[in-house]
Structure 1
Amino acid sequence: AAASTLVFNLANPTTQKAPLILGNNAVIANGVNGTLNVTNGFIQVSDKSFATVKAINIDDGQGFIFNTDATVGNALNLQAGGATINFNGTDGTGRLVLLSKNGAATDFNVTGSLGGNLKGIIAFNTVAVAGQLIANAGPANAVIGTNNGAGRAAGFVVSVDNGNAATIAGQVYAKDMVIQSANAGGQVNFGHIVDVGTDGTTAFKTAASKVAITQNSNFGTTDFGNLAAQITVPDTMTLTGNFTGDANNPGNTAGVITFAANGTLASASADANVAVTNNITAIEASGIGVVQLSGTHTAELRLGNAGSVFKLADGTVINGTVNQTAVVGGALAAGAITLDGSATMTGDIGNGGG
């Protein structure tokens, strides 16, 4: 078949919340010869054949939404066989939305990666049912963006709900990241590196969620948004960022960072005057191991095991209490705090949480 182009340039533009929906009867044939351009509006498709289109091009401020029946194995393959999803324009605001469809958890298998060159906002939504966003080449390969510099996507938005987890099995490089849960208890599992870059941000929104990382990760300037959100860090890993409980109201305290065993919490800022944590609820050492801290922190330190240790680098400042409130999902224990030089601790030290 000859090459053909389908253009969506709606006279009355639609939005992500109210898109133009193409039902199950809208099917693409010979997609390998086709181009689909979204120049004005948000388009939502219901048939998996749209994933076969050779090139999907999304302009600034416009969007394309996959809400399709999965293939065998509940998988939808994106960018397979040389197909590409591209973000045109200059400001990087075109959106690709991946909805895990109600009734069947969906695996979005991606050949190559989505977004890059500081363009493209990719939204992964598992509010209806759990889903996975997977790098076909394996989790040690990028699925969002390509690197933590100019290769980042403009944004990555993960929307979850209690019981409907989002799992990202690939590296994530996006300048601005949003984690939002429709109700408290949503879970986001990152299977490899997450890195927003030197000027990147992370924001928690809507309701409290839990984020689990598996590799060294950089969340950049992070706002917990006055939500009881939690980031968990596995053994030997480093979490980098500058974490604030509520950027809009400095009087609020929110957010917990929990280390499973050994680990490091590091600043993402080259400026030593920028606090690593600012009015977050707590930093937790929940297991046997040494958690290394440096810089300035306004947070409670919690020890959850007799073998838990906080090791404070020379000059560390802790504006907060120690062991006043039980660790999330557990109890306090008489661990230890060690100093590599001098440190300042302003709050009470004691086993107040039981």
Structure 2
Amino acid sequence: MEQMKAIRLHAYGGPEVLRYEDAPMPELKDGQLLVRVHAIGINPPDWYLREGYKMLPPEWRPNIPFPIIPGTDVSGVVAAVGKGVQGFSAGDEVFSMVRFPSVGESAAYAEFVAAPASDFAHKPAGIDHIHAAAAPMAGLTAWQFLIELGHDVQNPLQAHKHHPVPLNGKKVLVNGAAGGVGHLAVQLAKWKGAHVIAVASGKHEAFLHSIGADEFIDYTKQAPEAVVQDLDLVLDTLGGPHTGRFLKTIKRGGALFPVFLGFSDAEEAAQRGIIVSSTQVRSNGTQLEEFGRLLAAGTINVAIDSTFPLADAQKAHERAANGHIQGKIVLTV
């Protein structure tokens, strides 16, 4: 069996469980592309998997057989095309969020990945593999929350379907604005005509103004919920149990979109007439093609925090754990 280099987990734990080793080449099936990977974007689900999803209730934790190759986001070159695939040929440059959210099957931290052609889009010309690999999960998350959901899968944690809200002329606050999802959400909201207030730590102020933020709040100096009001939308990329603090900043009929689980103030939201809605990002090659056009035009830019060779995935995860990331961390192959 042909071998490739990959990062694999044989147990859950800290960054030290990421092992750079030989692994079997993925098998190309009908409807799939086999891609030689040039760069890999790293995302929070990568470390949730590495840690064994310890933030989830035990009954929700997926049971995945070891060894596992983590990761979802890749940019590379098509090595082979499976039966029935149209629109892609060997030699095409492509990027993708691979098979998300089917846990443990994405397997992006590797020299090759095989996945459904429908997960892929053509890499924008004029953008290198590093920037393309940084875009898919963060870009699709921002897109599916703010622009277009693009699927019909019901979120089991809420009764209603997630609906993006109109942004033109609206006041939008993005919390965690310098991170992967945040800095792309700031740019998408600006593209759609919103007035954007960015919340991050002070060192990101110049960066966030440079990508279009109209106002900036340094959360280390003042609590955003103490200084803003009459917002139409808050996109809280941090989410979690503290996201309810933003309810008092939002006008009646406005919306709070937490990206991570943990919202627990449904009663207060109902009293204030505020929609609270979330969604789980899903692979979507068609949306990625659209997002790619904005990248190609320079309308949206992906910021790179740092890059590491694939063999140094441990160091990349350590960098992620240190926080205060500006943009995205990328592995190079």
Structure-2-length-normalised TM-score? 0.28
Instruction: Give the helix-richer structure, 1 or 2.
Output: 2
Q: Which has the higher contact order (CA 8 A, sep 6+)?
A: 2
Structure whose alpha-carbon radius of gyration is higher? 1
